[in-house]
Amino acid sequence: MSDDTSASVSSIDPIVLILPPRPELSRVARLASSALASIAGCTVDEIEDIKIAVSEILIALIEHGDQRAVRLEFSFDADTFVVVGTTETESFDLDDPDLGLCRTVLEGVGATPLIAVVDGTASITASVSRAITN
Amino acid sequence: MSGQMNNEALSTEIVDDAIIVHGDIDMAGSPVLEGAIIQQESAGHRVVIDLADVFFIDSSGLRCLLAASRRGQTNGATVILRSVGHEVRRLLEITGTTEQFDIQSDRE
């Protein structure tokens, strides 16, 4: 953590949240991401984008995964706020139209999604660019 | 609706045949909204949704609205959205679905 007295910090070690695949917990994840983004000094608009990114990641992994726990990892530096969601799955359909809608929304909020399935683990990385501040 | 857990994040009420939505339209809230929409459709009412108290919506919420829009279009009726906030409008614009709805007013 920073040793200065400002309310925000420029970077932090990754923070991990592991959630059961329950839709009502999406709100918990958004609240956590919102708090972290606030600590990171993100603007209100950036925080809104991050909340949408978190929600879309959870939709994709819960609705298209195998109903197993979802791991969310949050990290940030001066340039980006990164959310990585993963879940173990054997049946993740990368071409599902609903997943395409998630991808469209993630791209729309500038979250540059990277969606992959490797060795039975589906992962979605969303990187939200931050405004340059002095 | 499962009835197993209360969804404190989203609730709906019917006022003058319009669905007034309170809360986030997300994965948990969408089924609640869908139930309210289907109830209105079943009663023969045109679907009018007031979104003044909605400050978050994601693609699951959008899918719920688009499904209602598609059902309405088969009957020649467009879903009406009222008091649309910038959060909802932005999602409609991102996904190019604004024209699927009759947006009567923006949130003041």
ipTM reported for the complex, 2 dp: 0.88
Cβ separation of B59 and A62 shorter than 8 Å? no
Q: What is the dihedral of CA A113, A96, A104, B55, to 10 degrees?
A: -100
**B77 or B91, greater pLDDT:** B91
End-to-end CA distance of chain A: 19
Which residues on chain B are in Cβ contact (under 8 Å) with A59? Answer: 27, 58-60
Which residues on chain A are in Cβ contact (under 8 Å) with B59? Answer: 56, 59, 98, 101-102, 104-105
Q: Which among A27, A98, A101 is the nearest to B26, CB-wise?
A: A27
pLDDT band at B3 (very low <50, low <70, confident <90, very high): very low
Question: What is the percentage of chain A residues whose pLDDT exceeds 70?
Answer: 93
Nearest chain B residue to A53, by CA: B58
- The per-residue pLDDT for range B6-44, each reduced to its tens digit, is 335 799 999 999 999 999 999 999 999 999 999 999 999
Output the six-digit token pair for B14. 């019917």
Q: Whole-angstrom Cα distance, residue B5 to residue A67?
A: 18
Q: Whole-angstrom Cα distance, residue A110 to residue B90?
A: 13
List the strands of the sheet with B48-53, edge to edge. Answer: B10-15, B18-23, B48-53, B80-82, B102-103
Distance between B95 CA and the closest CA of chain A, angstroms: 7
**pLDDT of A134 above 60:** no
Cβ separation of B59 and A51 shorter than 8 Å? no
Pairing of strands A12-19, A121-129: unpaired
Q: In the prediction, which pLDDT does A132 show?
A: 60
**pLDDT of B5 above 70:** no
Q: Which among A51, A98, A108 is the nearest to B94, CB-wise?
A: A108
pLDDT band at A94 (very low <50, low <70, confident <90, very high): confident
SS3 readout for chain A = CCCCCCCCCCCEEEEEEEECCCHHHHHHHHHHHHHHHHHCCCCHHHHHHHHHHHHHHHHHHHHHCCCCCEEEEEEECCCEEEEEEEEECCCCCCCCHHHHHHHHHHHHCCCCCEEEEECCEEEEEEEEECCCCC
Q: Whole-angstrom Cα distance, residue B27 to residue B49?
A: 18
Interface probe, candidates B1, B27, B30, B89, chain A, greatest A C-beta count within 10 A: B27
Q: In the prediction, which pLDDT does A6 show?
A: 53
Q: What is the dihedral of CA B38, B41, B45, B50, to 10 degrees?
A: 40
Q: In the prediction, which pLDDT does A7 show?
A: 65
Q: CA-based diameter of chain B, in Å?
A: 36
In contact, A43 and A110? CB cutoff 8 Å: no
Nearest chain B residue to A52, by CA: B58
